[in-house]
Amino acid sequence: MRELFLVEADSDELGWQERALCAQTDPEAFFPEKGGSTREAKKVCQTCEVRVECLEAALGNDERFGIWGGLSERERRKLKKRAV
């Protein structure tokens, strides 16, 4: 199972993760099998107060797996391409 926390980041930068709703739910939902539903994870992200910080961390660390900031891997790739 993949860990949701960034190990190499400074502890001050990780403060948002302590407030993340995903830390209080089943982590498996955020890393579904290929072709599996992302609905449950995205529903949690919709109401999370640190969604923006989570997405920024995923983009900054080039996370290639899982739901981060309410976006799937494919959605993050599209977002990055549009930003270029």
Position 12 scores a pLDDT of 53
Report residue 61 as tokens. 């660390």
Whole-number Cα distances in Å, 22 to 30, 81, 82, 83: 8, 26, 27, 26
67 is in an annotated binding site: no
Of 84 and 25, more confident: 25
45 is in an annotated binding site: yes
Report residue 16 as tokens. 């948002």
- 5: confidence class by pLDDT, cuts 50, 70, 90: very low
22 is in an annotated binding site: yes
Q: What is the sign of the dihedral through the CA atoms of 4, 2, 67 and 61? A: positive
- 84: confidence class by pLDDT, cuts 50, 70, 90: confident
Is the pLDDT confidence value at 13 over 80?
A: no
Per domain, the residue ranges of the chain are: 15-83
54 is in an annotated binding site: yes
* 19 in Cβ contact with 50 (< 8 Å): yes
List residues bridging with 68 in a β-sheet. Answer: 71
Average pLDDT over the chain, rounded to whole? 86
